[in-house]
Chain A
Amino acid sequence: MTITLEVNGQRHVVDATGRRLLAVLRDDLELLGTKLACGEGACGACAVLLDGRPVNSCLLLAEAAAGHEIVTIEGLSTGRASALQDAFVAEDALQCGFCTPGQVVSATALLEQTPGPTREQIHEAMAGNLCRCGAYPKIERAILRAAGDA
């Protein structure tokens, strides 16, 4: 089925038949920041914002995503996300960087909902974004820093 997707404020017409949103983003729209790491909703590396809320794009049918506002890491380049990214770099909240786009997507949504999160709230909100390199302690610090600087 050919559908129209709204991604990062732009409309795209794609052939979505049976495909997940992640595949359409990466293969059709060349938005390579969102990653396929597990394909089963277990790691969050594929996180995008759907109407402002983070979801696993590897599970989401592209057809089901039509009619919603999709924002990927590429769309988070100004304002709060940029300050968050600066905090990630300053705190070294990343190592190999593969999970980082997903972390930034979830953290952006968190700070949008909860501008001054507690450590507990950070743990709850970020639990779906795995990091095998172990940058968690610094991811927490980066989010607190970005929240504090806001």
Chain B
Amino acid sequence: MTARFVRTQKELEGRYEDVWVLVDEADDVETWAPDADLALVGRPAPRQDGAARAAGRVRFTVDVHLAGMLHAAVLRSPVAHGRVRSLDLEAALAVTGVRAAIGPESELSLTTRAPLLAAEPAYAGQPIAVVAADTPEAARAGLDALALDLEVLPHVVDPQQALNEQRFTADPSDDARGDAEAALAVADVRVELSLDTPAHVQTPLEPHAAVASWDGDQLTAWVSTQGMFSAREELATAFGLRKDDVRVRTEFVGGGFGAKQGAGFEGLAAAELSRATGRPVRLVNDRHAEQLDGGRRAATRQTVRLGARRDGTITAIDADAVIAMGQGGWVMPVLIPARTLYHCADVRALTFPVKINLRAQNAFRAPGVMEGTAAFEQAIDELALALDLDPLELRRRNHTDVDQVSGLPYSSKHLLACYDRAAELAGWAGREELRASRGDGLLRGMGCATQIWWGGGGPPSHATVRLDADGHAHVVTGIQDIGTGTFTGAQIVAAEELGLPLDHVRVTGGDTGPNVYGPLAGGSQTTPSVMPAVRSASAKVRKILLQLAGDVFEIAAGDLEISNGRIRSRDGAIDAAVTEVTDKLGNATIDGSGSRGPNPEGFVVNTFGCQIAQIAVDPGLGEVRVERIVAVHDVGRIVNPLTASSQVEGGVLQGMAFALSEELVVDPTTGVPVNAHLDDYKIPTIADVPEIVIDFPHVPDANLPNVGSKGLGEPPIVPTAAAIANAFAHATGRRAAGLPLTRARVLEALA
């Protein structure tokens, strides 16, 4: 390895930071040609661990049982804003089986920027105290014994009220270019749309969870997280430990969807209690706690004003968004769609992140952009209506190959092909005939929406590969497979590069122990970040293997190739199993390590797509049924079409639910969410599934070296709600005042 440090930019969801990256100048992997005939990459493959998952044999964090393990229970605020008057920790400790009890005034061994426990909770569900006991029953009894006395303080949960009172979590931002106001004033055609989008809860079936265990000053923590290296960092910092004295394990995660970042409250509290008691501690959110405190996509109120020329050219975009942030959190890029979807020189985008007494917003699959698209793409359809233009045609006319914010070209963009393909698959040409009555009393319509998102990945990201005497390769990654199938993607890429059959390659991850770094499972970055590293590592092993084969067969390594576990010479004289070379290894292994190189400069790497929804509305009941969703996404090279289509189906279903039924509702009187349980927060069942038709342009991104893949985790959720809302407007001629399209909203729109 010829190691060098280079300075490059790392991008995550549109946020850029400068980083040093370790590159190997000896890494000479050639980018796969777009039409390369690959044996495994691009072909459907079942998940590496599928059988174990289907048999219920995999162990999630909630399944970790250690000897002597204590059970933690959390006392959470029952009010939206309060002040703790008294908390009887002594009484809790006196309960049989309780081994530790901590509250806001307790002296903790860890240090965090913000207090772990709240003396003045600012949202319902905020942790006030934690008890650890021998059994879950004893822990609950310990909670009861705390006899919490809380002074109730005033709360604000209405975003409009927060706006009026200028309560912000961060400064309002004004992202402008040109002069939108002036352009709007002189536009031939103007439309304006105001919409509400709902608070949307990730609701992973495995709640946030952690099990912490100390061995002297060494900490092992199982955390249901999407970011085990962030978790390691947080735990090391909190407890003043060396990073290599902290091991985070997260081999299997029962869904995350953005909610599970770092160590979480669970990881920190479990580690604290474990240190205090000298025993392992398990802390798992019950479902109510998960829905209150696991996180959510913030509700927004958005207003979009568009101006255009008669020929369909958009000339002005003026958008604002009030985001109901909660107590803090990242201000998600709600207005990125307004700023970048289409070509426009005069744009204004005002964001107001308001502070209310709810948990801080966190990430939920394509945060900001999804809810921004839900509003903006509806405004575009209103513009199409005002211009009497086909909605897809309007979008085509305002297409741009250049990122509108930076002015840089996109590394690849096959959006126009996505529009055409989606239109073809959906029968877009027959859209008007669809509205004709079929005698079933239902109103039908079809609507489209454009998807934009990031997904270029980047360094740092590493992998190691070891090939043994049996010709079996072990790939070690630093990634978390939260259901995305990325372990299997890595398996495919490694097997391809090594020339081995798929089942001769095993991929592990979800453990910081080996200290092979991978990015968090978020921002659609795993595939584009990790596959190149895996391929590079595999390429090195392949090179060495061929050199050794050359020694064994007394032929130049350059005359040999490997595929499907066999080594062949170009003249066909040699055709041997890989093991004929590797069995001479004995207990040694051929090793290689690889890393993701820097991102190409001078480009913006985005993903694009188009979805078209066909719906039927029962006007007598206010019921919307989604009959069909066509989804076409440009994400570069697809490594595993089987898991790729699963990602699309998953994103579409979550987007559909956002459009139809999901909404975290907050009681105005007390400021406490009323449906933080699954009985009143309805996620789709199998009976709600529409027909989902999926396709991809399958064009590798030529500017992303090595593999040419972009990420797919988030793109599919981005346009679905907008497409459904646009289909609703097409079917009924009316637009609802917001999402979700509940009975009440639909009936109101139709009245």
Interface centre among A85, A101, A136 (most CB of B within 10 A): A136
The answer to whether B649 and A94 have CB atoms under 8 Å apart is no
A94, B50: Cβ atoms closer than 8 Å? yes
Neighbouring A residues of B203 by C-beta, 8 Å: 132
Contact A30 B287 (CB under 8 A): no
Expressed in whole angstroms, the minimum distance between the Cβ of A40 and any Cβ of chain B is 6
CB contacts (< 8 Å) of A90 on chain B: these are: 46
**Within the complex, which residue of B46, B646, B692 is in contact with A89, where a contact is CB–CB below 8 Å?**
B46
In the bound complex, do residue A139 and residue B686 qualify as a contact, i.e. CB atoms below 8 Å apart? yes
Q: Is A133 in the interface zone, CB < 8 Å from B?
A: yes
Interface residues of A in 69-86 (CB under 8 A from B): 72-74, 77, 85-86
B-side interface mostly: loop
The reply to whether B255 and A104 contact each other, CB–CB distance below 8 Å, is: no
In the assembled complex, the CB of B29 is this many whole angstroms from the nearest CB of chain A, namely 29
Tell me whether B54 and A136 are in contact (CB under 8 A): no
CB neighbours (8 Å) of B65 from chain A are: 30, 32
Looking at B189-197, B511-519, B650-658, B734-742, the stretch in contact with chain A turns out to be B650-658
Q: Which of B49, B654, B678 contacts A43 (CB 8 A)?
A: B678
A92-B646, A138-B649 in contact; A37/B207 too (CB < 8 A)?
A: yes
Q: Which of B55, B255, B649, B653 contacts A85, CB < 8 Å?
A: B55
Q: Knowing A30-B65, A133-B650, A134-B653 touch, does A95 contact B484 (C-beta < 8 A)?
A: yes
Q: How far is the CB of B627 from chain A (nearest CB, A)?
A: 14
Which chain A residue shows the least CB distance to B255?
A96
Could you tell me if A92 and B46 are in contact, using CB atoms closer than 8 angstroms? yes
- Mark interface residues in A111-147 (1 if CB within 8 Å of B CB, else 0): 0000000000011101111111111111110000000
Q: Tell me the minimal C-beta distance from B414 to chain A in angstroms.
A: 25
CA A93 to CA B485, docked complex, whole Å? 12
By the criterion CB–CB under 8 Å, are A135 and B55 in contact? no
Residues of B within 8 A of A94 (CB): 47, 50, 53-54
Q: Is the CB of B683 within 8 A of A97?
A: no
Which residue of A72, A95, A137 is within 8 Å of B692 (Cβ)? Answer: A137
Structural contact, A136 and B483, CB atoms closer than 8 A: no
Q: Are A104 and B54 in contact (CB under 8 A)?
A: yes
B257 beta carbon closer than 8 Å to chain A: yes
Report A-chain residues with C-beta under 8 Å of the C-beta of B56.
Answer: 32-34, 72-74, 100-101, 104
- Kindly state whether residue B252 has any CB partner on chain A within 8 Å: yes
Cross-chain contact A92 with B50 (CB below 8 angstroms): yes
Given A37-B206, A43-B678, A92-B59 contact (CB < 8 Å): no
Q: Say whether B482 contacts A96, CB under 8 Å.
A: yes
**Nearest-CB residue, chain B, relative to A41:** B679
Closest partner residue, chain B, to A105 (CB atom): B56
Residues of A within 8 A of B50 (CB): 88-89, 92, 94
A98 to B63, CA, bound (A): 11
Given A132-B203, A134-B649, A134-B650; A40-B677 close (CB under 8 Å): yes
Partner pick for B57 among A33, A98, A136, A140, CB 8 A cutoff? A33
Q: Which of A32, A43, A97, A122 contacts B483 (CB 8 A)?
A: A97
Q: Give the residue name and chain of the B residue nearest to A58 (CB).
A: B287
Nearest neighbor of A72 in chain B, beta-carbon distance: B56
Most-contacted residue by chain A among B255, B286, B645, B683 (CB, 10 A): B255
Whether B205 contacts A77 by the Cβ 8 Å rule is no
Q: Decide if B73 is an interface residue (CB 8 Å cutoff).
A: no
Minimum CB–CB distance from B224 to chain A (whole Å) comes to: 10
Residue B643 CB within 8 A of the other chain: yes
Interface size range on A against B: 35 or more
Bits for A35-65, please: 1 = Cβ < 8 Å to B, else 0: 1111110110100000000000000000000
Give the nearest-CB partner of A77 in chain B: B55
Task: Kindly state whether residue B104 has any CB partner on chain A within 8 Å.
Answer: no
Contact A100 B53 (CB under 8 A): yes
Asked if B14 CB lies within 8 Å of chain A CBs, one says no
Docked Cα-Cα span, A92 to B640, in Å, equals: 11
- A92, A98, A104, A131: which contacts B47 (Cβ < 8 A)? A92
Chain B residues whose C-beta falls within 8 Å of the C-beta of A129 in the assembled complex: 685-686
Check if A99 is an interface residue, CB within 8 A of chain B: yes
Question: What chain A residues lie within 8 Å of B687 (beta carbons)?
Answer: 123-124, 127
How far apart are the CA atoms of A60 and B203 in the complex, in Å?
23
Distance of A104 from chain B, by nearest CB (Å)? 6
Tell me how far the C-beta of B294 lies from the nearest C-beta in chain A, rounded to whole angstroms: 12
Q: Which B residues are in CB contact (< 8 Å) with A93?
A: 54
Minimum CB distance partner of A88 in chain B = B54
**A133 B46 Cβ-Cβ under 8 A:** no
Query: Within 8 Å of chain A (Cβ to Cβ): is B622?
Result: no
Q: Does B62 contact A (CB under 8 A)?
A: yes
Of the candidates B484, B642, B686, B687, the one having the most CB atoms from chain A within 10 angstroms of its own CB is: B686
- Whether the pair B55, A132 counts as a contact (CB closer than 8 A) is no
Whether a CB of chain A sits under 8 angstroms from the CB of B254 is yes
Which chain A residues in 1-59 approach chain B with CB under 8 Å?
23, 30, 32-40, 42-43, 45
- Min CB distance A7 to B, Å, is 14
- Interface contact A100-B678, CB-CB below 8 Å: no
- Which residues of B have CB within 8 Å of A139? 686
Give the CA-CA distance A93 to B646 in the complex, in Å. 8
Complex Cα distance, B63 from A33, in Å, reads 8
Contact status of A45 and B205, CB under 8 A, knowing A85-B54, A138-B646: yes
* Cα distance A43–B51 in the bound complex, in angstroms: 22
Q: Are B287 and A39 in contact (CB under 8 A)?
A: yes
Instruction: Decide if B287 touches A40 in the complex (CB within 8 Å).
Output: yes
Contact check: which of A36, A100, A122 meets B62 at CB < 8 Å? A36
Task: Give min CB distance, B449 to chain A, whole Å.
Answer: 18
Q: Say yes or no: A42 contacts B485, CB within 8 Å.
A: no
Cα(A132)–Cα(B201), bound, Å: 11
Q: Does B187 contact A (CB under 8 A)?
A: no
Q: Are B650 and A97 in contact (CB under 8 A)?
A: no
B60 within 8 A of A: yes
Query: A98: which of B136, B254, B651 is its contact (CB, 8 Å)?
Result: B254
Task: Compute how far the CA of A96 lies from the CA of B51 in the bound complex, rounded to whole angstroms.
Answer: 12
A32 touches B646 (CB 8 A): no
> Which residues of the partner chain B approach A85 to less than 8 Å between Cβ atoms?
51, 54-55
B205 touches which of A23, A37, A123, A136 (Cβ 8 Å): A37
Interface: B562 (CB within 8 A): no
- State in angstroms the CA–CA spacing of A57 and B699 once bound together: 48
With a cutoff of 8 Å between Cβ atoms, the chain A residues found around residue B642 in the complex are: 92
Q: What would 17 more interface pairs be, CB under 8 Å, given A104-B54, A129-B685, A136-B653?
A: A33-B55, A38-B287, A40-B678, A72-B56, A73-B56, A74-B55, A89-B50, A95-B255, A96-B204, A97-B49, A124-B687, A129-B686, A134-B654, A134-B684, A135-B649, A136-B689, A137-B689
Can you list 11 A-B contacts (CB < 8 A)?
A74-B55, A74-B56, A86-B54, A95-B484, A96-B482, A96-B483, A98-B255, A130-B678, A133-B255, A133-B650, A137-B649
Closest 4 CB pairs of A and B: A33-B56, A96-B483, A97-B53, A98-B254
